[in-house]
Chains A and B, each alone.
Chain A
Amino acid sequence: MLPWAELQEQLAAALRDPERAPPAECIGPDGARATKRFAVYRNNVFAGLIDALAESYPAVHRLLGVECFEETARRYVSQHLPRSPVLLEYGERFSEFLEQLEPLAALPYLADVARIERAWLEAYHAPEAPALDPGALAGIPAHRAADLCFTLHPSVRLVRSRSAAVTIWGLNVAPPPWASLPPDPIAESALLARPAAEVEVVCLTPGAAEFLAALAGGLTLGEASERARSVHDTFHLTEHCTALLGGGWVTAAHLRRRRTRGH
Chain B
Amino acid sequence: MSVSHTAPRGPSPDAVPARAGVGLKAAHYRVILESRPPLGFFEVHAENYMGAGGPPHRYLTEIRTHYRLSVHGVGLSIGSAGPLDEPHLRRLAALVHRYEPELVSEHLAWSSHGGAFFNDLLPLPYTAETLRRVCEHLEQVQEHLGRQILLENPSTYVAFASSSYAEADFMAEVARRSGCALLLDINNVYVACTNQQCDPLQYLAQFPLAAVRQIHLAGCATDADEQGRALLIDSHDREVADRVWFLYEHVLARRGAVPTLIEWDQNVPAWDPLAAQAARADRALHACTLQDRRHVALG
Contact = CB atoms under 8 A, between A and B. Distances in A.
A181 to B, nearest CB: 30
Interface string B110-148: 111111111110111101011001000000000000000
A207 interface: no
A128 interface: yes
Contacts of B196: 29
B81 A8 contact: yes
B120 A52 contact: no
A45 B114 contact: no
Contact of A34 (B76, B111, B158): B158
B127 A4 contact: yes
B225 interface: yes
B197 interface: yes
Interface of B: 47-48, 50-56, 58, 74-77, 80-82, 85, 88, 91, 110-120, 122-125, 127, 129-130, 133, 157-162, 195-198, 223, 225-227, 229, 231, 233
Nearest to B133: A4
A11 B122 contact: yes
B248 to A, nearest CB: 24
Interface stretch (A19-27, A169-177, A225-233, A246-254): A19-27
B158 A38 contact: yes
A96 to B, nearest CB: 19
B157 A29 contact: no
B118 A12 contact: yes
Nearest to B223: A40
Contacts of A41: 120, 122-123, 157-158
Interface residues of A, number: 50
A1 B119 CA distance: 27
28 contacts: A1-B162, A3-B129, A4-B125, A5-B81, A8-B80, A8-B124, A11-B113, A11-B122, A12-B113, A12-B114, A12-B118, A24-B161, A26-B160, A27-B159, A27-B160, A29-B229, A31-B161, A40-B233, A48-B119, A49-B119, A82-B116, A82-B119, A85-B75, A85-B76, A86-B47, A124-B51, A125-B53, A198-B55
Interface of A: 1-5, 7-9, 11-12, 15, 22, 24-31, 34-38, 40-41, 44-45, 48-49, 52, 81-88, 124-128, 154-155, 194, 197-198
A45 B110 CA distance: 12
The 8 A-B residue pairs with the shortest CB-CB distance, nearest first, are A85-B75, A125-B51, A5-B81, A29-B197, A81-B116, A127-B52, A82-B117, A26-B158
Contacts, number: 149
A81 B119 CA distance: 9
A198 B55 CA distance: 8
A244 B47 CA distance: 33
A35 B117 CA distance: 22
Contacts of A29: 159, 195-198, 229
Given A15-B122, A82-B117, A85-B117, 10 more contacts: A15-B118, A26-B159, A36-B225, A38-B158, A82-B119, A83-B117, A85-B85, A125-B53, A127-B53, A197-B58
A85 B74 contact: yes
Contacts of A30: 227
Contacts of B130: 4
Contacts of A31: 161
A40 B231 contact: yes
A155 B76 CA distance: 28
Contacts of B124: 4, 8
Given A48-B119, A83-B117, A86-B50, A25 B160 contact: yes
B55 A28 contact: no
A155 to B, nearest CB: 8
Q: Which of A9, A11, A28, A82 has the most CB of B within 10 A?
A: A28
Given A22-B158, A26-B158, A37-B157, A1 B127 contact: yes
A26 B124 CA distance: 10
